Structures are given as C-alpha cells and as structure tokens.
Amino acid sequence: MLRGLYTAASGMIAEQRRHDTVTNNIANLNTPGYKGTNSVNRAFPEMLLSAMGGENAPQGPIGKINTGVFAEENLIALMQGDMMETDRSQDMAIVSDILVNGTTFDASGKAVDANGNVTYQPQAFFTVGTADGQMRYTRNGSFRTTPDGTLVNSDGLPVLGTDGQPIVVQGSWDNVTVTADGRLLDKTTGLPLNGNPQLLLTKVNNPNDLVREGNGLFRYEGQPGGIGRVQAGDRVEIRQGYLERSNVDASQSMVDMMAALRAYEANQKVVQFYDKSLDKAVNEVGRV
C-alpha cells in the first residue's frame, strides 16, 4: 500500500515542477530574447515482483512494477523568436539559421539521421562580460549606454567586441549604424568608427551545453571546442532597431499548465484514497 502512496507523491512533485516551468515561461512572454524551457520527466527504474509464501504457496516472478516518476531536467527551447521593430538604435536582434553539412533541422532545432544519431542546430548569441572577467551569452539585445559611452545590457554588463573589450562609442548612438555582421559604422560617412569596433557574436554548437543563469544570460559548460566566433557564411545577421520576441507559445503554455494541474489533482486524489485506507486499517481493522 505504501508503495502506491510514494508513487502518487512522486507524481505530484513532478507535476508541480512542470507547472512551475510553464508559469515561468508565461511570466516571460514579453521578455526580449527569452527562450522557453520544457520540463522532462523520467520514470524510476522498474522493479520485478516475485511471489513469496509458505511451502504450498506459488512462487516465482509475478511481473514488473513502476516505482514513480521524477522531474529530471528542464530543456531550453532555442527556436528563433519573432522580430519586433522598435526603431531604437541601441536595440539589436539576432537572426540565426546555422546549417551543419546540409542537415535539415525541425522546428525544435534538432535533426535525427537514419541511424538515430541526434544533431542539434548551433545557435548564435551576443557576448557580455562579467565583473570577474567571465563571458556570458544572451539573445536579449535591449542595450543601453553608460555616461562614458559603454554599451551595456539591462543588468549593466558590458557588451563585448571581437577584441574581447567592451564596445565604447563616443557621441550619440543615433549616428551609429550596425551592419549585419556587427560592425559599427558612422551613419553619415559610412566609415567604421574609431578603433573599427565590431560586436562579438558567439556560436554554440550544442545549445544543450548552456546553463541558464537568469536575466536572459547563459553560461557555457561544454567542451572548449564546442564554442567559437560566428564566421562568414554561418547565416547569422544582426538587425538594428529590432528586438527578438520571446519564443514561448502562449496558447500551448496555457494547455500545458492546465494539463499539469489536472495530473497533480489526480495524484492528489490517489494520496487521499491511501490516507483513508490507512486510517481505516489502523482505527477500525486494528481494533478487531
């Protein structure tokens, strides 16, 4: 009896995690560059039941039984979000469609060949620097400038150029044109700004090697060779005066949230049933 109680309780915990994931996606519907997450559940290993009894009782295996479920991880969905025009010179969006040896990827950015091998579509990101000199990656291109002309993100972290240094522009950003490959030009003359600055776009070969840190930032935890600069021909471009919308599907998120709630309630009913059964066993049957 207690085995069923534990199984139902594990289901409630997993559905609560799933519900939290969906509500977090909904809360970030209007966050530029936000990438939704999907909760992945996994069953605990199955157990083989065997009959055990007296001398004349049947013995041997009865069958398998599942021992519950748990929320294993949250996978980041890195599909391209829609473009939103802002006409603000410091707003930038990345349009990325990187190919790998002619592989055709599905809407989720994954491809499976005839042998079952999975390939994930590489993704491009803006690069920002942290106070301790580390690099973080983001698709939120809602930038601003500090009084000294440094381009920073919403948290005040400097946006890095291809030289690894923060992008600094003297004067008004209204006179700056950002090309598709991230070069900064004078809008009037069409010539590069002093120092020939260029935004650093980072390509991550396997997006699942990224760890979400919050505030639209990701940390890379993969192998050193799995990350590098975006190269010419990678089908990546920057659009100035645009922001990338969140890629969360509001309608599907509402459906997923209701499904998680219903599944949670179903497991809750099972727990209540076992609670009543144990109460009867202790307070009624136990008196006999």
User: Are 271 and 234 within one domain?
Assistant: no
Q: Does residue 221 sit within a domain?
A: yes
Of residues 200, 201, 207, the one with CA closest to residue 221: 207
**Number of domain units in the chain:** 2
pLDDT for 282: 74
Per-residue pLDDT of the chain (288 residues; tens, 9 = 90+): 577 788 888 888 888 899 999 999 999 999 999 999 888 887 777 777 776 666 665 666 667 777 778 777 788 888 899 999 998 999 999 999 998 887 888 877 888 888 888 888 899 999 999 999 899 999 999 999 999 999 999 999 999 999 999 999 988 898 999 999 999 999 989 899 988 899 999 999 998 899 999 889 999 998 888 999 999 888 999 999 999 999 999 999 999 999 999 999 998 998 888 888 877 777 776 565
CB 200 within 8 A of CB 125: no
User: Are 54 and 169 within one domain?
Assistant: no
Burial (CB count <10 Å: 0-12, 13-18, 19+), residue 84? middle
DSSP-derived letter for residue 226 is G
Q: Does residue 129 sit within a domain?
A: yes
pLDDT for 68: 77
User: Are 121 and 237 within one domain?
Assistant: yes
Residue type for 100, please? V
pLDDT for 286: 56
User: Are 137 and 264 within one domain?
Assistant: no
Q: Does residue 108 sit within a domain?
A: yes
User: Are 253 and 237 within one domain?
Assistant: no
pLDDT for 151: 95
User: Are 180 and 213 within one domain?
Assistant: yes
**What is the pTM for the complete model shown?**
0.82
User: Are 107 and 215 within one domain?
Assistant: yes
User: Are 98 and 158 within one domain?
Assistant: yes
Q: How far apart are CA 94 and CA 81, in angstroms?
A: 9
SS (H, E, C) 70-100: EEEEEEECCCCCCEEECCCCCEEEEEECCCC
- Helix residue spans in the chain (DSSP H): 2-27, 250-283
Task: Tell me the HSE value of 273 on the side-chain side, using a 13 A CA sphere.
Answer: 12
User: Are 106 and 193 within one domain?
Assistant: yes
Q: Does residue 228 sit within a domain?
A: yes
User: Phi first, then psi: what are they for 188, rounded to 5°?
Assistant: -80, -50
User: Are 62 and 152 within one domain?
Assistant: no
pLDDT for 176: 93
Q: Which domain holds residue 96?
A: 86-244
